[in-house]
Amino acid sequence: MTVVQKEVISIDDLVKIDLRIGTIKSAERVEGSEKLLKLSVDCGEQERQIVAGIGKRYMSEDLIGMQILLVLNLAPRIMMGLESQGMLLASDDEDGPVLITPATVVRPGATLH
pLDDT tens digits along 84-105? 999 999 999 888 899 999 999 9
- How far apart CA 92 and CA 12 sit, in angstroms, is 27
- Using an 8 Å Cβ cutoff, are 71 and 87 in contact? yes
User: Residue 113's pLDDT is what?
Assistant: 81
Q: How far is CA 41 from the centre of its chain?
A: 9
Residue 58's φ and ψ, nearest 5 degrees, are: -120, 140
Residue type for position 51: V
Q: Are 5 and 44 in contact (CB under 8 A)?
A: no
Please state, in angstroms and rounded to a whole number, the distance separating the CA atoms of residues 104 and 106.
6
The residue type of 4 is V
Residue 81 has pLDDT above 70, yes or no: yes
Q: What are the residue ranges spanned by the domains of the chain?
A: 21-99
What pLDDT is stored for residue 68 in this prediction?
98
Express each pLDDT in 7-60 by its tens digit: 999 999 999 999 999 999 999 999 999 999 999 999 999 999 999 999 999 999
pTM of the entire structure? 0.91
Options 3.50.50.60, 3.40.50.300, 2.40.50.140, 3.40.50.720; CATH for 21-99 is: 2.40.50.140
More confident residue, 88 or 1: 88
* Per-residue pLDDT band at 1 (split at 50, 70, 90): low
Task: Identify the CA nearest to 29 among candidates 18, 21, 20, 38.
Answer: 38
